[in-house]
Amino acid sequence: MSQIEDNNSQTEKRVIDALDSSIDDLHPDIRRKLNQARTKALQTKPSNSFFSRPILKVAGVVSFITLIALVSVDINKNELSSSANNIVEIETDFNKFQLEEIELLEQLEFALWMTEENEIASL
């Protein structure tokens, strides 16, 4: 134990002893009234507590559940919109592929036509 902690505990002990001895020196009626006041103060509950009314407890729980539901809906909405974006991207890629395929077929058809024209011209 350090010296500061030792000094603090000795000071605390002296203060407690001084307070206890001052209580012993009080008149019994005063001691009784102090004890009654102490007991009354310990028994009373603060009535101004925000959650002391049951309706406020219920309102707090309902508000919390509503908040959780709203956050959940927002998360699901974001997931759905990202899924929709993915579907649009896939559809766009597929359309590009179809256009490229059609262009390739047209080019092959043109090459075949040119080959046939060259064969006819060489006869």
Q: How far apart are CA 31 and CA 22, in angstroms?
A: 10
What pLDDT, on a 0 to 100 scale, did the predictor assign at position 70? 80
What pLDDT, on a 0 to 100 scale, did the predictor assign at position 76? 67
What b/e readout covers 62-76, taking b as 16+ CB neighbours within 10 angstroms? eeeeeeeeeeeeeee
- Taking residue 47's Cβ as centre, other Cβ atoms within 10 Å add up to 7
Q: For 27-33, what is the mean pLDDT?
A: 82
Virtual CA dihedral for 114, 115, 117, 119, nearest 10 degrees? 160
Q: How far apart are CA 91 and CA 84, in angstroms?
A: 11
Q: pLDDT of 83-107, one tens digit each?
A: 777 777 888 888 888 888 888 888 8
DSSP 25-62: TS-HHHHHHHHHHHHHHHHPPPTT-GGGSHHHHHHHHH
Domain assignments of the chain as residue spans, ordered by start: 1-46, 53-123
Prediction pTM value: 0.29
Nearest in space to 23 (alpha carbons), one of 35, 11, 37, 36: 35
Contacts of 60 (CB under 8 A, 6+ apart): 51
What pLDDT, on a 0 to 100 scale, did the predictor assign at position 48? 59
